[in-house]
Amino acid sequence: MRTSTSSPAALLITGTVGSGKTTTARYIGALLRQGATPHAVIDLDALRDAWPSPEADPFHEQLMLANLRDVARNHLAAGALRLVLAGVLEDSAQQPLYEQAAGVPLTVCRLRVDLSDVEGRLRQRHHDDREALDWHLHRSGELDAILNAVGIGDLEVPVAAGQAPSEVAQAVIRAVGWNADATPPVG
């Protein structure tokens, strides 16, 4: 089993809703596992999933950051060298807070997906919930415009229509310089 000797680091995969953040993070986790790199994949939405949210913090960012601080610390103490985070970062001024919560240097990678492809993904994901579909369709365009306006991300990876998640994951780890020689997971 090969292990990495590099210093711990974190990667936040961000993008609009439906861009493939969580799926890409999972595939990166599989690639890191194949490369025998100790890691953790953390879905930031799961760390903020509580109801109700405060009026001043509708997406529970403060709760998510507090949870990330603890979860990241525990994973690092257990030996993780790579933290792969999936979530939305809307404000570049908040990036230092995410890095502080992760406890290690953080690189932010934005997945850039054409909104027509996002719409197709969202229609498939929320086919049985019209209210959720409408909200996500509206939010995808709104969030994409926000991310464009503020230039979120240290790097950007374009995602082509129909591109396999394993290919996106490989492109991301190549862009960030992590185990670029790993092969994609099977299945």
Q: What is the pLDDT of residues 92-116, one digit of tens each?
A: 999 999 999 999 999 999 999 988 8
Q: What is the pLDDT of residue 4?
A: 44
> Does residue 162 form part of some domain?
yes
The model's pTM is: 0.88
DSSP bridge pairs for 11: 84, 107
DSSP state of 78: T
36-73 pLDDT, tens per residue?
999 999 999 999 999 999 999 999 999 999 999 999 99
Q: Does residue 20 fall inside a structural domain?
A: yes
Which domain, by its residues, includes 127? 9-176
Q: What is the mean pLDDT of residues 11-38?
A: 95
How many whole angstroms from its chain centre is CA 172? Answer: 11
Q: Is residue 36 part of a domain?
A: yes
* Residue range 132-155, pLDDT digits in tens: 888 787 888 898 999 999 999 999
Whether 18 is in a domain gets the answer: yes
CATH code, domain carrying 119? 3.40.50.300
Residue 21 lies inside a defined structural domain of this protein: yes
**pLDDT of res. 108:** 98
Domain count, the chain: 1
Angstrom distance (rounded) from CA 63 to CA 5: 32
Residues in the chain: 187
